[in-house]
Amino acid sequence: MEINLKGKTALVTGGNIGIGRAISLTLARCGADVAITYFDHDQAAAQTIRAMGCHCPYLHLDATNSAEVNQVFAQVAKEFGGHVDILVNNAGHLVGRVPIAEMPDEFWRKVIDVNMTTAFYCSRAVIPYMNTGWGRIINMSSLAGRDGGGAGAAAYSAAKAGVAGLTRALAKEYASKGITVNALAPGLILGTPFHATFTKPEVQQKIIASIPVGRAGTPEDVAGAALYLVSDLASFVTGEIIEINGGVYFA
């Protein structure tokens, strides 16, 4: 069955690189107009989407800034005729690996803000614009939120576990409005700045050796799951955390 998103509007935070880029391009290929927010500048994804004939607003956003989130989301909604159908809360970052005993308060707050508070701010901001009786919110959790993550990732693990709880709460609150809310929990996904920065090659190989399907994931693996969740094929799916880890972990 072909998934057709023609006429739908989407907003992907951090949609210019890594997993966010793959999701943005996938939604556009299925016909959606896709707004991308970015923190570090790279216009390639937006240019590709526009070349497909889709409308693609491209805006800078610090998603940890509540006022800025509200302003940018209002601007996107205006460009999309007053409604946003799909939100992908992809903004997030490990920030660094710090053992609990050495972790400053400021580091803990930063990691929580970047990975969980952003999902709260953006979900709250988009709800008024999901006003057509049909909406999809996808949050980005992580395998780390399930299994505690790697060395020095306690704050990140806690934040991503919190995203799972937020997802379920939102799913309950907005199901009657025609809005489904789900999360994706990727494992080792290569081809992204995340693992290129924070996971040494020898550690990557050790993890790959433990994956039952015999390979690391790709951004496109995550984008495929996102596409399913925003489609009408998943209209009866809400409050779920979709594991994307090649069989390393089962919920």
The predicted-structure confidence for 204-234, as pLDDT tens digits, reads as follows 999 999 999 999 999 999 999 999 999 999 9
Averaged pLDDT of the chain: 96
Q: Is the pLDDT of residue 73 over 80?
A: yes
State the catalytic residues: 156
- 249 within some domain: no
How close are the terminal C-alpha atoms of the chain, in Å? 28
- 99 within some domain: yes
Q: What is the mean pLDDT of residues 136-151?
A: 96
Q: Are the C-beta atoms of residues 18 and 44 closer than 8 Å to each other?
A: no
Model's pTM, two decimal places? Answer: 0.96
Split at pLDDT 50, 70, 90, the class of 56 is: very high
- 42 within some domain: yes
Judged by DSSP in three states, 250 sits in coil
- 130 within some domain: yes
Q: Is the pLDDT of residue 41 over 80?
A: no
Q: Is the pLDDT of residue 198 over 80?
A: no
Containing structural domain, residue 168: 9-243
Q: Which residues pair with 88 in a beta bridge?
A: 12, 138
Structural domain count of the chain:
1
Which residues does 73 contact at the CB level (< 8 Å), separation at least 6? 11, 84, 122, 125, 126, 129
Smallest CA-to-CA distance from 246 within 188, 199, 166, 194 is with 188
Is residue 99 packed enough to be buried (19+ CB in 10 Å), middle (13-18) or exposed (0-12)?
exposed
